A and B are shown apart, each in its own frame.
Chain A
Amino acid sequence: MKNIFLIFISLLIFSGISGQQSGDILIKNGTVITITDGIKENTDVLIRNGKIDQIGENLSAGDIETIDAEGLFVMPGIIDAHSHIALDVVNEATNPVTAEVFVGDGLDPYDVGIYRALAGGVTISHAMHGSANAIGGQCETIKHRYGEVDPEAIRMDGAPRTIKFALGENPMRVHGERQGIVPATRMGMEQIFRNAFEEGKAYANAQKAFAAGKADFPPLYNTRNEVMADILKGDIIIHCHSYRADEIYMLLKVLEDYGVKKICFQHVNEGFKVAPELAAYGAHASVFSDWWAYKFEVYYSTAYNAAILTENGVVTSINSDSGELIRHLYHEAAKTQRYGSLTDNEALKLITLNPAIQLGIDDRVGSIEKGKEGDIAIFKNHPLSIYAIPQMTIVDGIVRFDIDEDNNDMRLDVDPDESIPTFYESETHSHHGEGDRCMQDVFEFLNHKH
C-alpha cells in the first residue's frame, strides 16, 4: 500500500514538473499521408491529449478545435536528425573528448529558430553538439513547442540519449593544428576513440568490481567515463559527423571491436561508397540532399547519395544542420526524386519515419498512426511539390505555427535595453552599410580591448 502511494506521488511530481503540454484537435477532410499506411483521401485525424486517437471519415469529437483541411495535405510532423537550433552552446571545443557535456543543459526555448523550423513543418529536431571534438557532447531531441519558455518544456521526454562523434578535418584542425595535440591525423582520430572506449571500459569494470564486493571503493566519479560506459552498454545512440568512406569504415571497425551497435552517420557524403557495409552493420545515415565542397574532405559527393543508401537498405534521412535548410526539408527530400527516382513515400520517409528511427523515437512519432503523438504538418499542395507551402504545424495536438497568424515579430523574449538592429535601419541610416560589424567595432573601441 505504501509503495503504491509512493508511486502515485512520484507520478504526480513527474507530471507536474515536466509540464509538457498537449491538446485536443480535429483535422477534417484532408489528404492524409500516413507514411506507414498509404494515403487516405478526405480523411479526418483526431488528436486527444496530444495523441492520435482516430483516423477515419466523418469523425466528430464534440467541442474541440477543428481545422478544415479540405484540399490540403496532412502529413506527420517533419523530423530533423541534425540541427543546432534552440541551443545556447554548441561546442565545448577544449578537448578532443568531451563526452561529459550535454547540450541539453544549454537549451534555449526562446530561439526564434524553433518557430522558423515550425514554419517549415518541422516538429522535432535533434539538437546536437558541434563537431570540434572526436567525441563531442551528448545531444538532445527536442519538440518544437514554441511559446514555452522553460527549457524543460521543449525536451522530448523519454527520447533515447544520443551523443555526437566527429571524424576528419574539424577535430584534426581544432586540436591537432591549433593545440598541437592528438589528433593531428586520421590515425590519431582512431586512437582517440580507442583510448576513450578503453578508459570507459576500465571505469565500468572498476564499478562492477565495487558492486560485486571485490573493491572497497568505486572509482573516482568521472562524468566522461560514466558516459563512455553508457555508450558501451548500448544506452546511447552515436551520431557521427563524417565524410570520407575510409574513416566511416574505420569507425565501424572500432565500434565492432567494442560491441557498440547503435550508430548513425551524419553527413556521410561518401556513404554511397560503403552503403553495403553500413547496411550490414545496421548503421544509419543522415545526409544532405546536395550540399558539399565546403572543405577538402567534402568534394567527392553526389546528390544520389540518399537514394543509393536507401536502395542498399540503409535507414537514411535528410537533415538540415542549418537554421535555413530546416525551413524546407520537404524540398530537400523531393530532390531525391530528381536524383534517384525515389517514390513519394520513400522520399517523405527521409524526413519523417527514418529520422525517427535514427533517434529511437519511431514508436512515438514519424507517421500518422493511432496511438502516436499528435505531431502534424499541413501543406497546401503536395509536400514534395515545388509549390508546397506549409499552412499549419501541430505539436502534441497544439497548433504551434499557423500561416494565418504569422506576424513579423514572433520573438518570445525582448530585451528592453536592446538597440533595434533592423536590416532596414542598418541599410538606410548607416554611412557604409556595415550593420552589425560596425557596431561591433564601436563596442571594441569603447572597450579599448585592442
Chain B
Amino acid sequence: MKKLSLQFLALFLAPMICYSQVDYDKIKKATDKVFIKNVIIHDKPGSTIEYGSILIEGGIIKEIGKKLNEPNDALILSADSLHVYPAFIDALSHSTIKKKEDGDRPKVKFPGAPPDDVAGITPGKSAFDDIDAESGDIKTMRELGFGISHIAPRGRMLPGQTAIVSLSGKTKNEILLKENVAIYSQLRTSPGVFPSTMIGVLTKFRELYKQAEEANNYLTKYAASPLGMQRPAYSEAVTSMIPITKKKQKVFFKAESAKDVHRVLALKKELGFDLVLTDVKQVYPVIDKIKSSNVPVMVSLDLPEKPEEEEEEEEEKEDDKKDKEDEEELTSEEMKKLKERKAKAYNDYVSQLAKLDEAGVTFGFSWIKAKPKKMLENMQTLIENGLSEDTAMKGLTKVPAQLLGISNIVGTAEKGKLGNLIISTAPIFEEDSKIKFMIVDGEVFEYEIKKKKKKSDTGEEIDIAGTYTYEIDQFGASGTFVITNDDDDYKLIMTSADDGNEMNAKNVIRDGNSLSFDLKVEEDGFSMDVSVGLDFEDEDFEGSVSTDFGAAPIEGSKVDPN
C-alpha cells in the first residue's frame, strides 16, 4: 500500500510540461557536441551575453560568447532568443531517497540505552547507499532546472553522510560526483528511546562529538605504536564523527524555526564544528544572529499559505450585529486583530529573504521540506516582496556550488565548466517562463511547451470523471479520488493512500469546472463535517478542505488510466 502511495505521489509531482517525442539521445550517440546558438546567456548572476552561442563538447563548455563558428558535426539546438542559465544546484534534499516506515520500530529492552541505529545515530551511513537512480525525483528536479543534487540520507538525529549527484539520466554509479561530502544532522528525536526529546538529541550530539575528539587522539597514538595500549573500542558512530571534529567535513544541520537556529548556533559555538544552517524556514527573527555568526545558511522555500483577505461581507455582517451584545462585538474585534497578526506574520516570512540579503548574508536554498515543484511560484512571491532576482539566482547556483566545493566545475556558465544549462523561453523567474531544454552532464532533454488553458479563455467544460491523486499537505494526507459521471449525476469515492479506507462523498455538485462535496468523518465516537471544493484545470485540481476549525489546501492530478 505504501508503495502505491509513493507512486501516486510521483504522479502528483509530475509537472504540467511533458517530454516531447524528439529523441535527442540517438543524435547524441553520433556526436557529443552540442551547439546552442543565438541565445541570451545569463552566464552568472548579474551578467548577460546577448545573442551569444555556446559549444558543449563531452559535457564541458568548450566555447561561450558571441560570434562563435557553428561546427558542422554538432547537434544544433535551435534556441533563438531563448534564455540560458547555469543549471540550479540543490544545496540539500532527500531526492530519490524513499521515506522509511515508522511503524516497525524494534522493541528494545532498555529504552535509555538503545542500539545506535534505533536511536537514529548513523553518522557513517552513506546517502549513496539509498540513492535510487531510477527514482522519478531525478526527472522532476531536472525538469525544474536542477542539474545537481546534494542528497542527505533520511533518518533522525544523525542520518549519515551526504552525496552529490548529477541529475542526468545515467546509472547510479555514473551520476555520483562525490560521496561522503558532509554530515547531515537534525534535532529529530527517536520515539520511545533515548534521545526521545530535543534536549536529549543535543546532549547526545555533544557526547558523540567529545568522544570522537578523544577517539581521534587515541587512534592516532595507537596507529603510531599500539604497544601496551588496549585495542580501540570506539563505536562506528563515534569514529564517523571524527572528520567533523577536525573540520574536514561540514555539518549540515537542519534548523527550521528561529528557536532551532539559536539552538544549533549555540551547539556550534560550544563545540566548534563547521556548520551549515540548513532548511531554515523562519529567518526573520534571527537575521542579526545569523549575520554575526558568519555561518553559511541554506534557507527553505517552504512558504506559509497566504492568509485569506478579510472579506467585505463580514464587515457588513458586523454592521448588522451592532445592536447585539457587547461581548460579541469585542470578539469579532479580537478576531480581526488576530487576522491582522496572521497577515503580518505572513509578510514577515515572504519579506525575510530580501532582508537577509540586505543584511549582507549570502544564502542558498535547500529542499528538505520545501517542494521543488513550488519553487518558481514561491520564488516569484519572494521576488514580489523585495528579493532580487540576482540573489535568488546566486542562491540556486553560485552559493551552493561554493559551499559544496564544486564551484570550479558548476555554478556559472563558463568555459571549461560542466555544460549544465537551463534554456528557458523567458527570463527564468518570470511567470510565463518555461524550460525548453535542460542540458545535464552532456545529455540534452527537451520539453514540450504546453500552453496552460485558462478557464476564462475557453469557458469549455472539461471531463472531470476519472481517478485522481490528492494531497493535503497541511495534514500530510494523500490518497485517491474516483469521480464517476452518470448522466451529470456525479459520485466520488475517496480512498486513503495509507490504509485504503474508502469513503463515499455526499452532496457531490458540479458547477462549471468546479466540484464540491461533503464528507462525514466518524472516528472514536466523534463526528465531524468536512466540505471540499475543487477547481479543475486540465488534468489537475486545486481547492480547499473546510472543517469547523479552519481550512487546508488540497491539490491533485489525474492518474493516467494506462
Contacts and interface: CB of A to CB of B under 8 A. Distances in A.
B12 interface: no
Contacts of A94: 111-112, 192-196, 200
A417 B304 contact: yes
Interface string B520-554: 01011011111000000000000000011111000
Nearest to A110: B259
B263 A409 contact: no
Interface string B466-504: 000000101111000000000000000000111101000
Nearest to B192: A94
Interface stretch (B330-338, B353-361, B398-406): B330-338
A441 B342 contact: no
Contact of B548 (A91, A103, A429, A444): A429
Interface residues of B, number: 72
B200 A441 contact: no
A422 B338 contact: yes
Nearest to B334: A408
A109 B530 CA distance: 36
A100 B207 contact: yes
A221 B210 contact: yes
A420 B550 contact: yes
A450 interface: yes
B199 A106 contact: yes
Contacts of A409: 334, 337-338, 341
Interface string B312-351: 0000000000000000000100110111011111101100
A92 B338 contact: no
Given A217-B218, A220-B214, A448-B501, A93 B349 contact: no
A430 interface: yes
Contact of A218 (B214, B343, B550): B214
Contacts of B472: 446
A106 B305 CA distance: 28
Interface string A419-450: 11110111001111010011101111111111
A11 interface: no
Given A94-B111, A415-B345, A430 B259 contact: no
A415 B528 CA distance: 25
Contacts of A96: 112
B521 A441 contact: yes
A415 B338 CA distance: 11
Contacts of A431: 527-529, 548
Contact of B197 (A101, A426, A438): A101
Interface in A202-237: 216-218, 220-223
A105 interface: yes
Interface stretch (A115-123, A145-153, A335-343): A145-153
Contacts of B263: 105-106, 151
B345 A91 contact: no
B341 A426 contact: no
A447 B305 CA distance: 20
A217 to B, nearest CB: 6
Given A414-B345, A420-B342, A438-B526, A95 B258 contact: no
A360 B176 CA distance: 57
Nearest to B339: A420
Contacts of A109: 259
A415 B304 contact: yes
Interface string A120-160: 00000000000000000100000000000111100000000
A418 B343 CA distance: 11
B338 A442 contact: no
B335 A420 contact: yes
A107 to B, nearest CB: 8
A88 interface: yes
A416 interface: yes
Given A151-B263, A414-B345, A446 B112 contact: no
A181 interface: yes
A98 interface: yes
Contacts of B497: 448
Contacts of B334: 408-409, 422, 424
A416 B474 CA distance: 13
A108 interface: yes
A443 B552 CA distance: 11
B335 A223 contact: no
Nearest to A420: B338
Contacts of B335: 420, 422, 424-425
Contacts of A434: 526
Contact of B214 (A221, A408, A420): A221
B28 interface: no
A108 B528 CA distance: 34
A420 B338 CA distance: 8
Nearest to B214: A221
A441 B203 contact: no
Given A417-B474, A441-B526, A425 B549 contact: yes
A415 B213 CA distance: 40
B496 A448 contact: yes
Interface string B213-240: 1100110000000000100000000000
A223 B211 CA distance: 10
A414 B341 contact: yes
A216 B225 CA distance: 13
A179 interface: yes
Contacts of A197: none
A98 B549 contact: no
Interface in A173-220: 179, 181, 216-218, 220
B289 interface: yes
A89 interface: yes
Contacts of A265: none
B223 to A, nearest CB: 15
A414 B342 contact: yes
Nearest to B521: A445
A88 B259 contact: yes
A102 interface: yes
A181 B108 CA distance: 12
A178 B529 CA distance: 38
Contacts of A417: 304-305, 474
Contact of A441 (B474, B523, B551): B523
Contacts of B550: 419-421
Nearest to B342: A416
A4 B86 CA distance: 52
A97 B530 CA distance: 46
Given A152-B266, A415-B345, A438-B528, A101 B521 contact: no
B232 to A, nearest CB: 10
A356 to B, nearest CB: 26
A425 B335 CA distance: 9
B198 A106 contact: yes
B499 A179 contact: no
Contacts of B523: 441, 444-445, 450
B196 A438 contact: no
Pick from B206, B217, B528 the residue with the most CB of A within 10 Å.
B528
A263 B207 CA distance: 27
A419 B214 CA distance: 49
Contact of B499 (A91, A414, A443, A448): A448
Contact of A414 (B200, B344, B474, B501): B344
Interface string A82-94: 0000001101111
16 contacts: A92-B194, A92-B200, A94-B193, A95-B110, A95-B112, A95-B113, A216-B229, A223-B206, A408-B334, A409-B341, A424-B335, A431-B529, A432-B527, A442-B521, A448-B501, A450-B499
Given A221-B210, A223-B204, A442-B475, 6 more contacts: A94-B112, A106-B198, A409-B341, A431-B548, A447-B476, A448-B499
CB-CB nearest 9 A-B residue pairs: A95-B112, A419-B550, A416-B346, A446-B477, A448-B498, A446-B475, A416-B304, A414-B345, A416-B345
Interface of B: 110-113, 192-200, 202-204, 206-207, 210-211, 213-214, 217-218, 229, 258-259, 262-263, 266, 285, 289, 304-305, 307, 331, 334-335, 337-339, 341-346, 348-349, 472, 474-477, 496-499, 501, 521, 523-524, 526-530, 547-551
